[in-house]
Amino acid sequence: MLKAALLLGSLAVLEAPLADDAAFDEPLQLLYDGSTDAALLEFGRLRRAFPEDPLPAYFAALALAWKLEQRPESREHDAALLRLADQAILLSDAQLRGAPSARALFARGERPSAHASLARTSGAPAAGPVAGTRGPAPRRRPPIQGSI
C-alpha cells in the first residue's frame, strides 16, 4: 500500500502544472477591449509560466488571428499564427495521451481555425496541415444509433 502511495505521489509531481482559469481573465478582457498587443504580452507570459498548458498558445493564436483580420493585407503574423496553432495542438495531444481533457480538446481546434483565418484574409484557398492540401477533409457525422 505504501509503495502504491509513493508511486502515485511521484507521478503527480511529474505532471506539469496548468494555468488556473482565472489567469486568462485579464488577457482575454484586454483582447475583447481591442488591446491585442497587451493581450499577446500576457498570453506570452502565461506560455512561459506554464509551458505544458495548451491554452496560452491557443489564446495567443486567437489574438493573432484577430490582429490579422484587422489588417488583412499584412502577412506579418502568418507564420507566428500557424506556429502558435501548431504548439497548441502539440501540447493538447500530449495532454490527451494522459487522460481525457476538455481543456486540451478546446485548444486542439486551433489549427483549422488558423488556416481559415489566413484564407479569409488573403483570399487564397485554405492551406491544410499537410503541404499541398486544401484543408482538413470534410468530416461526416456518424449515423445516429437507435431512436431518439
Report how far residue 105's alpha carbon sits from residue 94's, in angstroms, rounded to the nearest whole number: 11
Report how far residue 91's alpha carbon sits from residue 96's, in angstroms, rounded to the nearest whole number: 9
Return the domain boundaries, the chain: 20-122
CATH 3.30.420 fits 20-122, yes or no: no
Q: Per residue in 50-76, pLDDT tens? A: 999 999 999 999 999 888 888 878 888
Q: Per residue in 21-38, pLDDT tens? A: 999 999 999 999 999 999
63-77: buried (b, 16+ CB within 10 Å) or exposed (e) per residue? bbbbbbeeeeeeeeb
> What is the reported pTM?
0.66
Neighbours of 45 (CB within 10 A): 13
